[in-house]
């Protein structure tokens, strides 16, 4: 993982104190849980959405993290806070309106543009408009690199893929559509704890 990723984050001590009661709360309200090392909350959200969509269901994801925009689909809506008490409903058309790319291109868009909140530098000289235009033309960051773009920068930036290594898909560390196995069948977040 990129060493500077999410470095320097500070958390409210009251929030940290609440983490110790979280497992008990999860059991009490019968939320499904799947502990897994090496995964972030984003990974679990993506896995839950994939599981729900695969079972024919729909999902609503409430997150202040714009990485979640990659989850928007015909079956999944992202609720994103815009100001105190107000949430924006983000679907595929809203992602295209905000970023100029389709939801599945959001990880590559973030990798190209960078993400200051996670301390991820983007490709040198690439801002949001250039990133969107490149992805509209090439489809993916991998394809852009296969066409000879960003090869030098891919060598300099550890989370950008290189066609020599055939490595990661080019996604920023916190931006992945899939994640840990959430088990079989639809997820029942509340209720009988299935």
For residue 111, the model assigns a pLDDT of 87
CA distance 143 to 96: 20
pLDDT of 158: 53
**CB of 29 within 8 A of CB of 190?**
yes
Under the banding of pLDDT at 50, 70 and 90, the label for residue 185 is: very low
pLDDT digits (tens, 9 = 90+) for 28-43: 887 766 666 677 777 8
pTM for this one? 0.71
- Note the pLDDT of residue 147: 86
How large is the C-alpha radius of gyration of the chain?
A: 18
* SS3 readout for the chain: CCCCCCCCCCCCHHHHHHHHHHHHHHHHCCCCCCCCCCCCHHHHHHHHHHHHHHCCCCEEEECCCHHHHHHCCCCEEEEEEEECCEEEEECHHHHHHHHCCCHHHHHHHHHHHEEHHHCEECCCCCCHHHHHHHHHHHCCHHHHHHCCCCHHHHHHCCCCCCCCCCCCCCCCCCCCCCCCCCCCCCCCCCCCCC
State what percent of residues in the chain have pLDDT above 70.
Answer: 67
104-119 pLDDT, tens per residue? Answer: 999 999 988 988 777 7
**Poorest-confidence range of 77-81, 121-125, 142-146, 168-172?**
168-172
Residue 1 has pLDDT above 80, yes or no: no
pLDDT digits (tens, 9 = 90+) for 136-175: 999 998 898 888 877 666 555 555 554 333 223 334 433 4
What is the average per-residue pLDDT within 46-54? 89
pLDDT band for 194, please (50, 70, 90 cuts).
very low
**pLDDT-derived band of residue 13, with 50, 70 and 90 as boundaries?**
confident
Q: 99 falls in which pLDDT band (50, 70, 90)?
A: very high
């Amino acid at each position: 993982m990129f060493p500077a990723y999410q470095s320097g984050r500070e958390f409210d001590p009251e929030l940290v104190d609440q983490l110790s009661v979280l497992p008990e709360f999860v059991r009490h309200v019968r939320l499904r849980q799947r502990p897994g090392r090496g995964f972030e909350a984003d990974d679990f959200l993506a896995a839950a959405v994939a599981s729900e969509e695969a079972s024919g269901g729909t999902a609503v994801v409430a997150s202040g993290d714009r990485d979640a925009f990659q989850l928007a689909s015909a079956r999944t809506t992202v609720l994103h806070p815009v100001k105190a008490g107000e949430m924006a409903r983000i679907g595929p058309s809203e992602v295209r309106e905000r970023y100029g790319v389709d939801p599945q291109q959001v990880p590559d868009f973030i990798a190209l543009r960078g993400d200051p909140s996670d301390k991820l530098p983007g490709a040198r000289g690439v801002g949001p408009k250039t990133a969107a235009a490149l992805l509209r033309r090439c489809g993916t960051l991998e394809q852009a690199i296969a066409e000879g773009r960003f090869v030098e920068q891919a060598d300099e930036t550890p989370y950008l893929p290189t066609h020599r290594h055939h490595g990661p898909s080019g996604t920023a560390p916190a931006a992945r559509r899939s994640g840990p196995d959430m088990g079989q069948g639809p997820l029942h977040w509340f209720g009988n704890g299935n």
